[in-house]
Amino acid sequence: MLVDCHMHTYLCGHALGHPSDYVRAAADTGLGMITFTCHAPMENETIFRGRGIRMAMEELREYRDLIAEAADLGRELGVEVRYGIEAEYYPDERELHGLWALLETEPFDFVLGSLHHQLPGFRAWLLDQGGPEEIATAYFELAAKALRTKRYDSIAHPDLIRIYGTIPPFEPEALEGPIRGMLEAAVESDTCLEVNTSGLSKQLYEVHPAPTILRWAAELGVKLTLGSDSHHPDQVAQHFPKVIKLLKETGFTGVHHFKGRTRMEELL
């Protein structure tokens, strides 16, 4: 059964299509399970931005209802639909207390952590760390810190710092130490990292994380989730055949998904 553990809804303000359209696309693609992970509401819009990036807190009920409606259609079409969220991590954890409270009270199946360095507050913090190498090192150290909180089931697009302009693109070998530190934190915390296939469609045209990082992850025994990061129904399961082939060649035998925050493995 193919699984896609990362897709968005129009409530985030930068995705198109109704959740039911994603379910139909999943059925057409032969997926057996999908998880919606719309961007979680955040209290400090100066740091995290609001409309156009993420749903508002008052829209959370609508989001829950949309996913329940999509799940009803999924039962008709043979696609299990799960209720997830994409939740930020940020250097100052005091800004995350409201989010973390939400994660404890809302019945999410899956919590996908993310470090969006391109958000205003995060970028400002990173730029204070020094030059490109210091910034990239700080990013991967923060990813390791996020993993060690054990508040997230997986960390999305874990090498996102390589794109979107906070620093120039770089090859993973240039930051092997900090990247391996992140991978070791994933193993120690028993938390997944995401293989995000959308990277093949933008900027460096490489899967997140890059193939070199995936090789290091395989050596260390890192567990993975798999997601398309779909913002349009046409993107559901985008690049999956190519990426699954890469994972098998790299030495991975399965990917993971979550229901009720409980991890399950699906063999490739």
Task: Please report, as a single letter, which amino acid is at residue 207.
Answer: V
Coil/strand/helix, residue 215 = helix
- Alpha-helical (H) ranges within 150-202 are 176-189
The pTM is what?
A: 0.98
Above 90 in pLDDT, residue 266? yes
Instruction: Compute the CA torsion angle 228, 251, 248, 176 (nearest 10 deg).
Output: 40
Average pLDDT of the residues in 194-223: 97
Hey, CA dihedral for 32, 266, 172, 95, is it positive or negative? Answer: positive
pLDDT at residue 1 in the model = 76
pLDDT at residue 2 in the model = 86
Above 90 in pLDDT, residue 156? yes
Hey, CA dihedral for 57, 59, 64, 67, is it positive or negative? Answer: negative
Instruction: Compute the CA torsion angle 163, 165, 168, 171 (nearest 10 deg).
Output: -10
Beta strands in 40-165 (DSSP E): 80-88, 110-114, 154-155
Q: How far is it, in rounded angstroms, from Cα 229 to Cα 3?
A: 12
Average pLDDT of the residues in 109-115: 98
Average pLDDT of the residues in 130-152: 98
The model's confidence at residue 116, banded by pLDDT at 50, 70 and 90, is: very high
Percent helix, strand, coil in the chain, to 5, is: 50, 20, 30
- What are the pLDDT digits (tens) for 76-111? 999 999 999 999 999 999 999 999 999 999 999 999
- What are the pLDDT digits (tens) for 47-79? 999 999 999 999 999 999 999 999 999 999 999
The model's confidence at residue 131, banded by pLDDT at 50, 70 and 90, is: very high
Q: Which candidate, 4, 11, 79, 16, places its Cα nearest to that of 233?
A: 16
Domains in the chain, start-ordered, CATH in brackets? 2-267 (3.20.20.140)
